[in-house]
Amino acid sequence: MENLPIEPLNNEASCHNDSTERKSHHSQEVKKALVSRLNRIEGQVRGVKRLVENDTYCDDVLTQIAAIQSALNGLGKLLLEGHMKSCVVERIQEGDTEVLDELLITVKKLMK
């Protein structure tokens, strides 16, 4: 799994602001790499659809599904790492410890 560069926080980039809308602040390089991974995953899903349409042997389809799940897990790990190194750290530094409860819920979802 490749490591995407996680940009240090600055005053212009923030995980959240005073409004209720929260946004990430990935650099263009990181965003491009994430979108590239998603495009590959999307292609894999379309491939599985074709396999099903063509009555491909179930074991072969299941193998491809496992590959997609692995790719999604890798993407999730990268996003989680970036989130922890930026958004979570920033919010803790601001005194917002509720972010830890949010993080634990997110990790539990990822571990299902």
Domains in the chain and their CATH numbers? 28-110 (1.20.58.1000)
Q: Count the Cβ atoms, other than its own, within 10 Å of residue 87.
A: 21
Q: Which residues contact 73 (CB under 8 A, 6 or more apart)?
A: 110
Rounded to two decimals, what is the model's pTM?
0.78
Please identify which residue in the block is written with the tokens 């650099």.
27
The amino acid at 87: C
Model confidence over 47-81: pLDDT tens digits?
Answer: 999 999 999 999 999 999 999 999 999 999 999 99
Greater pLDDT, 19 or 38:
38
The amino acid at 37: R
SS3 36: helix
Number of helices (H) and strands (E), helices first, in the chain? 4, 0
